[in-house]
Amino acid sequence: MSKTMRFQFRKGPEVRFLSHLDLVRAMERAVRRAGLPMAYSEGFSPRPIMSYSFALPVGVLSEAEYADFRLTEELEPAEFMELFNRHLPPGFRVLQAAHLPQGAPSLMSGINAALWKLHLPVAAREEIQERWRRLQAEDSFVVERQTKKGTRQVDLLPLVYGLPAVLETGDAVEVHCLAALGSEANLRVEELALLLGFNPAEALVTRMGQFKKEGSHYRPPLGNRGFTWTES
């Protein structure tokens, strides 16, 4: 049995404004309180061996964050979930867990797409849909992106795989967007706002899924709830 546990967890509104570094620290404190049998790195400052999926922007919620924890003892996934959830702070909750098979690819290498849910209180469904139709007729949508190495131009259109849903929910509009995620190609939330014409400060954004996009199929890093979707 593998001693690496992969799990999916929620980041709720109580911890919405925690940075990724704060998230890792909160997880480490919960690990100590729970007494999980973690494996530690060697050297002068041993740290628990854990890895996470791509960092979530500050202020964004998630139903699909992932982490791999290296353990020194074998735990059943249900036991791991019950023990860890008991000591996680409010706002975090493990949703599912499973042993990672030997030789399995790293977490980040198995993710290249995300499903975002945008709750837009100041928007019109028809305007969002019309804007997306116009964008699909364009050859490019180039913006300047600030990076650690300076400014570069990025075409955002290839980074959006589609809008599976644009729904009216009371006095707001809910948009579901499939987009690139990862080190090779990545669409930022503020860039999605530029594309669809909404104010990111007025939007409630939730990452609903992280996937390995293989053609038109989207496979999650844990579980079997993948799906196939193509732009109509």
72-125 tens-digit pLDDT: 998 999 999 999 999 999 999 999 999 998 888 899 999 999 999 999 998 889
Give yes or no for residue 232 having a pLDDT over 80: no
| pLDDT value of position 230 | 85
C-beta of residue 67 within 8 angstroms of C-beta of residue 7: yes
Q: Give the whole-angstrom CA distance, residue 73 versus residue 75.
A: 6
What confidence tens digit (pLDDT) does each residue in 30-86 have?
A: 999 999 999 999 888 889 999 999 999 999 999 999 999 999 998 999 999 999 999
| pLDDT value of position 148 | 82
C-beta of residue 5 within 8 angstroms of C-beta of residue 84: no
Q: What is the mean pLDDT of residues 189-205?
A: 94
Local confidence band at 225 (pLDDT 50, 70, 90 cut-offs)? confident
| pLDDT value of position 144 | 92
What confidence tens digit (pLDDT) does each residue in 161-188 have?
A: 999 999 998 889 999 999 999 988 999 9
pTM of the full predicted structure?
Answer: 0.94
Local confidence band at 146 (pLDDT 50, 70, 90 cut-offs)? confident
Q: Which domains, and CATH codes, for the chain?
A: 4-109 (3.30.70.580), 111-228 (no CATH)
| pLDDT value of position 2 | 67
| pLDDT value of position 160 | 96
| pLDDT value of position 1 | 56
